[in-house]
Amino acid sequence: MRPRVTLKLATSLDSRIATRLGESKWITGPAAREEVHRMRAAHDAVLTGIGTVLADDPLLTARTDPPVARQPLRIVLDRQARLGWDSQLMRSLGQGGIVWCTAQSPMPPKDAWPKGLVHHLVPAAHDAGATAGVDLEAVLERLMSDHKVKSVMVEAGPGIATAFMRAGLVDEIAWFRAPILLGGDGRAVFDSLGVDALNQAHHFQLMDQQTFGPDLLETFCHLPNQKV
């Protein structure tokens, strides 16, 4: 058993998450971002990778009106234990707990850590083609067994998104598309999925469509063992 995983994506029409120079704020508009906060509130946990933390310094809290009664756990995948003590995540522990998953023991010692930070030492990733850094199945098992997490929303860059997809751990995709085109030199939403033939493709079924301002949200459900 593992938590249900929703992969949240926000892209241009041509599936780009940033321009060729790396600009990404904001591809989608305010109404779509408000919906993301509601989605966070509906999940037990929100998961990201250390790359996103270092690049964007996110809070990952559910900022809704009215405020939520309980914030989701914030999960950071961080193979080399690089999470900064001055990051917004660490400075906002009073707004919600953080589960820090690393493949090596972090410093400083645990007795110097702030209240609300939980650490799990997990195996390193097995798939050299994905860049999550840590074993995703082991992370999900710990989240369910130790924290009773039943639903996880993944909000991360292409490395983590690709790793979850390659591992077959995505149950649902919530895909926000802005009505803009960034071109082939923009940053793609996925890295290599290792698909050499169509019968290796990842199959999803469209379940719902909604608009938020100018942006479209499409919800897809994974279809296991599909062949073309």
Domain 18-222 in CATH 2.60.120.10? The answer is: no
pLDDT in tens, 55-110: 889 999 999 989 999 999 999 999 998 998 889 999 999 888 999 999 988 776 66
Instruction: Indicate the DSSP class of residue 218.
Output: E
pLDDT band, residue 22 (cuts 50/70/90): confident
pLDDT band, residue 115 (cuts 50/70/90): confident
Residue spans per domain, the chain: 18-222
Which pair of tokens denotes residue 228? Answer: 């073309």
Average pLDDT of the segment spanning 45-58? 93
Name the E strands within 52-91: 73-77
Cα angle: 6, vertex 162, 75; to 5 degrees: 55
How high is the pLDDT of residue 128? 57
Q: Is the pLDDT of residue 227 over 50?
A: no
Distance CA 72, CA 108 (A): 26
- The β-bridge partners of 101 are 77, 120
* SS3 call for 57: coil
Diameter of the chain by CA atoms?
54
Q: Is the pLDDT of residue 228 over 50?
A: no
How high is the pLDDT of residue 127? 66
Q: Are 217 and 211 in contact (CB under 8 A)?
A: yes
Which pair of tokens denotes residue 218? Answer: 């499409």
Residue with tokens 């997809």: 165
Q: Is the pLDDT of residue 111 over 80?
A: no
Average pLDDT of the segment spanning 124-144? 84
Phi, psi of 41 (to 5 degrees): -65, -25
Average pLDDT of the segment spanning 165-194? 94
Q: Could you tell me if residue 225 is left (phi over 0), alpha (psi between -120 and 50 degrees) or otherwise beta?
A: left
